[in-house]
Chains A and B, each alone.
Chain A
């Protein structure tokens, strides 16, 4: 008897699962929300990121005629991120280039540069960076430092340095924008796709009147919630995996952590997003309300998650709130797995909050879906 009940339950679940999958994949609104933004944003961001650290112009005022100075200039001219090196012949012209925004950085090589190098093994050149473009500027300094290191010089960023400071960025030594952008974006976009698929799911049926049909059928609320969760889980996880694959093979971002742990994190993370989406859907009466609800919840979630600004810089209250947001934890996991071989202990510390969020939101969705009957 029990076996029979279980079997009919599986039949019911299967029917609902297929229905749900077909609805998601065939709904033009869903297709737009689910598939277009992730792929488009991934491409736009990667392209925008390329623009920031490449194709830059640099001005050089070389007052030295020695071999070391010439070597430095050659290296600059050969550097991949520099489009053109403008040679100027006065400090005023150098400043002019920078002020007018023609170049992002200006390098003044003093007349005694080669001599100092020959005597002490290292020399000082002055680097002026356009502070108006601070992000790119910092990255350029990073690049220049690595060039200088390659040819055993140090590049000074201060006009008259008392001690020369070398900044070294761990895990992303060249501060490649893409390296932290793409994993973060993967999490954000997967979150939105899961949120939207599920937010629309119950609301769509309610709007079209099929939800009543479903409620009078033998399918229990648990089955309804399950059958709405699974397809969203599958689709959003596959989407995230596709983006991770692109990150590794297309964007060539080093993946240093454990893939298995990332996968567990991904599933729990999508489940929690599904839970939040289903709660929104259970409350909404129409698809329009559901979409609105999705954005009202989704956008602040991304802002507080630490995707754009570090959580540590937020007011205490928001820091607490951030802990309740699945994206916060998943960003730590995915960025950690990509760039810094996050040890299992640290992954676990972020896995259990995801599990807690997922397994609180799903029952709440169930309660809401049922209580709407009254």
Chain B
């Protein structure tokens, strides 16, 4: 019907290499302004990153480009077709992989592929070689008979990609393809996408991980529905040339040093990197003050290349200060034992499936301890057993010396818990949520009033007290969740994926509080699949396929992964290195 669809992608770039034109696109959902007057271009033969935190408008833009949403104002064309007027053509020339690809879990890999071929109006029997090519490309050939529901997160994404590629689209739109995918499979996805752009296809990869932006040829950086930057990522990071530094080997006082650095007026942003502190100077500021700080604490200050995240935060006007008003108010934690959390041979089976396999570790008082691993690695299960939400099949878990499954109510007041999604009562107002948290921990009415007022002041919730938590901006939602979890000043805090999808500024603010708490002796247990975030931890337990494959400080883990061609590996490199060297080789590599 549309001859253009039959053309091989490589011949697409005849005269003009513009694949997508976005022209003053605007979109509202009720009161939410999802996209504000957005204009941009996307080109063939390039990998374009659509980058931004949750709620920036990435998915909305994707859905407009695939003709699933109609913009309120403005136009968009994809491969020369207007997304509204030529809606049918859009479906032919584009391939779209939504966040949760619609795979039929009860069908096998091959059956899913046949089904998508048929949905695309293709005669599956006549495309044997296409299937072979796709299976080969995605390395799924050994698993054609497996049910899609039994695939790992990474393999599901690859199968989704194979199905989206079925009709040989000229434009491929991938909505957060790397979410829930382990680092090894993520590498695979990158390799595939790069091969496709090499053939001339336009690929749009949306992501909330800013480090992924650096791998793209071109980036559209979205923030609150606005285009914050468009162009090659190097152009943005180039603006920060000579402004990123690392204070090396600060060691035990790194949290204090970070707090002090962030409070300097010359520093716009800073994070902990293992035993070091990474800082970014504000535009136009000199390095003298940070130099002085480095000298005072006896740390070496080395210039480091700028990262995309540095540039993003700089674009937003810098991160928050380093002092946590919350931690200031807290009195230091006293515990009878130095061991705050421990587990011994912890095992959990769900039927035949082993979610946690023989995990043992000890966490010291005041330590920030990370459980790191891709989705499905068993970190949530381990975490839930530690705080008494799941009963172990074998082994023991103790928090401040107590088995929380059997501990009386009073003992449970020793721990604070912040769940993965913001688990607040959506039907209660912000104030009522705070009151509930204070009440359910049995604080007496005077203390309740004091603490609630304190939290409102510290977290700046004043203007939101009668609002529903769901209507809060993401940053405030997280503040509220943290306020509720800390209302009773627990000596041990459990955080389950606290910052997934949160914008980097909010994440900085969150970690400022966590660092402050740790300095007061609060023990922090945190799970994350953000490899970068693991840098904040004192020690990291790496989980992969239910097993503990490594447990050490971030620096040691990274050092072990260092090689001649990779002298300064990231946590992600360290993780891939560990997976590759452990006996648990990725099944895709059979």
Contact = CB atoms under 8 A, between A and B. Distances in A.
Interface in A197-233: 208-210, 212-220, 223
Given A11-B439, A218-B440, A19 B425 contact: yes
Contact of A19 (B388, B420, B421, B428): B428
A208 B427 CA distance: 11
A22 B428 contact: yes
A22 B388 CA distance: 28
Interface string B296-339: 00000000000000000000000000000000000000000000
B442 A11 contact: yes
Given A5-B410, A373-B391, A219 B425 contact: no
B389 A12 contact: no
Contacts of A215: 388-389
A283 interface: no
A294 B428 CA distance: 25
A213 B439 contact: no
Contacts of B440: 12, 15-16, 19, 214, 217-219
B409 A15 contact: no
A210 B436 CA distance: 12
Given A215-B388, A216-B387, A15 B439 contact: yes
Contact of B419 (A23, A26, A212, A218): A212
Contact of A209 (B409, B410, B421, B438): B421
A11 B423 contact: no
Contact of A22 (B390, B421, B424, B427): B427
**Interface range for A:** 20 to 34
A213 B417 contact: yes
B124 interface: no
B21 to A, nearest CB: 41
Contact of A15 (B389, B413, B438): B438
A306 B217 CA distance: 73
Contacts of A27: 427
B389 A23 contact: no
A8 B444 CA distance: 7
Contacts of A374: 390-391
Nearest to B420: A209
A interface SS class: helix
Contact of B435 (A5, A15, A210, A217): A15
Nearest to A222: B409
B412 interface: yes
Interface in A56-84: none
B435 A212 contact: no
Contact of B432 (A19, A216, A217): A19
B394 interface: no
A18 interface: yes
A167 B435 CA distance: 64
Nearest to B496: A212
B361 interface: no
Contact of B409 (A19, A22, A208, A220): A220
Given A11-B439, A216-B415, A219-B440, A209 B423 contact: yes
Interface string A115-127: 0000000000000
Interface string A4-32: 01011101101110110011001100000
B425 A210 contact: yes
Nearest to B426: A208
Contacts of B443: 11
Contacts of A22: 425, 427-428, 432
Contacts of B436: 15-16, 18-19
A373 B390 contact: yes
Given A15-B435, A15-B439, A18-B432, 4 more contacts: A12-B409, A12-B439, A218-B411, A374-B391
For the complex of A and B, 8 pairs with smallest distance between CB atoms = A15-B439, A8-B442, A218-B409, A209-B423, A374-B391, A26-B427, A216-B417, A218-B412
Interface of A: 5, 7-9, 11-12, 14-16, 18-19, 22-23, 26-27, 208-210, 212-220, 223, 373-374
22 contacts: A7-B444, A9-B442, A11-B445, A12-B409, A12-B439, A12-B441, A12-B442, A16-B439, A18-B436, A18-B439, A23-B425, A209-B421, A212-B417, A216-B388, A216-B389, A216-B404, A216-B415, A216-B417, A218-B411, A218-B440, A218-B441, A220-B408
